[in-house]
Amino acid sequence: MAERLYLIRHGRTAWNAEGRIQGWADVPLDDVGREQARRLAERLRARPPELILCSPLWRAYETARILAAVWEVPIEVDERLKERGQGPFEGRTGVEVAALQQAWREMERDPTAEIAGVEPRAAFAERVWAAMEAAMARPERTLAVVAHGGTFSMFFRQWLGLPLDRPSPFRFDNASLTELALRDGRWIVVTLNDTCHLTDL
């Protein structure tokens, strides 16, 4: 089974820079995002993974392609790793979402709440957990998982047994590295949301 996981959030997009909610919208990386991915690839060049598991959304897949070109490893797409679908909130900024605050609060308070076009949090949690369990059971010793801030936040909340009806305490910046390692039969966090390779960007 796997012994080390690199959890990598995709590089920056124009919507990230503008503070827009992305969800399932297929937004490409911007030039900064591509440079972020290149720097992360160089950082791990001496200890690359054997395989990259990747969300199907373009911003994650484009990040994975940049990494794979440097590391010379294959990419496998896993639909379960994509971000939470945000329906009518996608493409909106925080200010614009303020007009929809009541619906947003309802969605955040109740993990099973259903709002037209928005993926229920409980369903999101279920697929993310299944994807990460499958990743941890892979035969490759070292894997990279390229996905989204929401995906990784949801995984950590479930892994630590935190309630789904509370705001996530975790942050994952663009092109950040979070590293997990298997030690004495238990997974530990080696580094969380590390962006030291992006200091002057």
Q: Hey, which residues are catalytic here?
A: 10, 83
| Beta carbons of 24 and 32 less than 8 angstroms apart | no
User: How many helices (DSSP H) and strands (DSSP E) are in the chain?
Assistant: 7, 6
Measured in degrees and rounded to the nearest 5, phi and psi for residue 58 equal -60, -40
Measured in degrees and rounded to the nearest 5, phi and psi for residue 4 equal -150, 135
Length of the chain: 201
Q: Which residues contact 159 (CB under 8 A, 6 or more apart)?
A: 132, 187
Which one, of 147, 106, 108, lies nearest residue 128 by Cα? 147
Provide Rg for the chain, Cα atoms: 16
